[in-house]
Amino acid sequence: MSTSNSAILAVHDLEKTFGSLVAARDITVSVPAEQTVGVIGANGAGKTTFINMITGHLTPSKGSIWFEDKEITGKPSREITRLGISRSFQVAQIFPSLTVFENMRIAAAIARCSGGVLGNISTPVHSGAATVEAEATIDLFQIGRYRDTPANALPQGVRKLLDIGMAVVGWPRLLLLDEPTSGISVEEKFDLMNVVMSALKTRKITVLFVEHDMEIVARFADRVLAFYDGTVIADGTPTETLDNPRVQELISGVRLKTSTGRPGHA
């Protein structure tokens, strides 16, 4: 199997077991290039297992994963990153005592290093290419006013933007985001996602983002995958998936008023 001409990511019959526990099963999904896919489901539904298999943090027990017509099933996460898949975690993975610029420049140097290991990049960190890319990504994510601020002094929203920017600085073609609005106030979440999605569209990055906030999913996803009991129970436009009776019963717990702009939470 390989991806179709229009698909950047394709998974077929994916399964992950831990002893007798089935964490993921029967997952077959094809994602076209530049699509933004929301991934929803209650805790333990299989979302993170799915993401971890794509990024190489878990090896599937069964099935295959293809990225740009290359099979990546079971490859190490470092190799998958080098191929063009990046990831941002729910808790920001940044260097707290370093400034925004220093964090971004280190991320740019790591991305440009074939080995991808911090210990091998002492010279490239200060290279002109890493500096230029760091500055460009800071501008892209609209955090220039915080350029010289230590990361541990940043507002939570800016810290999120820095973390996602560091995942983007190497120009990945596929980005996986884990709850990008987690810990962000209601007042800030839409502004933050507007900045993030604008930046990702500018770089033509395909996005899969895990999110519990249905307002964010309804507004920013082109397509929504709903996970329950380790498998996908709905796959369609935000309206199709969020209005699905099984999704409402098993995930959201309430009737989602997507058509009136008053969705609930998963």
pLDDT tens digits for 167-194?
A: 999 999 999 999 999 989 999 999 999 9
Q: Is residue 54 part of a domain?
A: no
**How many structural domains is the chain composed of?**
1
pLDDT tens digits for 44-73?
A: 999 999 999 999 999 999 999 999 989 999
DSSP codes joined into one string, 26-39: EEEEEEETT-EEEE
Q: Is residue 120 part of a domain?
A: yes
Q: Is residue 154 part of a domain?
A: yes
CA angle in degrees (0–180, nearest 5) for 70-71-77: 100
Q: Is residue 135 part of a domain?
A: yes
| Range list of H helices, 18-155 | 47-54, 77-83, 100-112, 128-140
Q: Is residue 115 part of a domain?
A: yes
User: Residue range 6-35: average pLDDT?
Assistant: 96
pLDDT tens digits for 115-126?
A: 444 444 444 666
pLDDT tens digits for 74-108?
A: 999 999 999 999 998 766 678 999 999 999 999 99
Residues 6+ apart with CB under 8 A from 118: 106, 110
- On the CB side of 91, CA atoms within 13 Å amount to 2
Q: Is residue 122 part of a domain?
A: yes
AA identity, residue 189: K
pLDDT tens digits for 208-223?
A: 999 999 999 999 999 9
pLDDT of residue 127: 67
Q: State the residue range of the domain holding 151.
A: 85-171
CATH number assigned to the domain comprising residue 152:
3.40.50.300
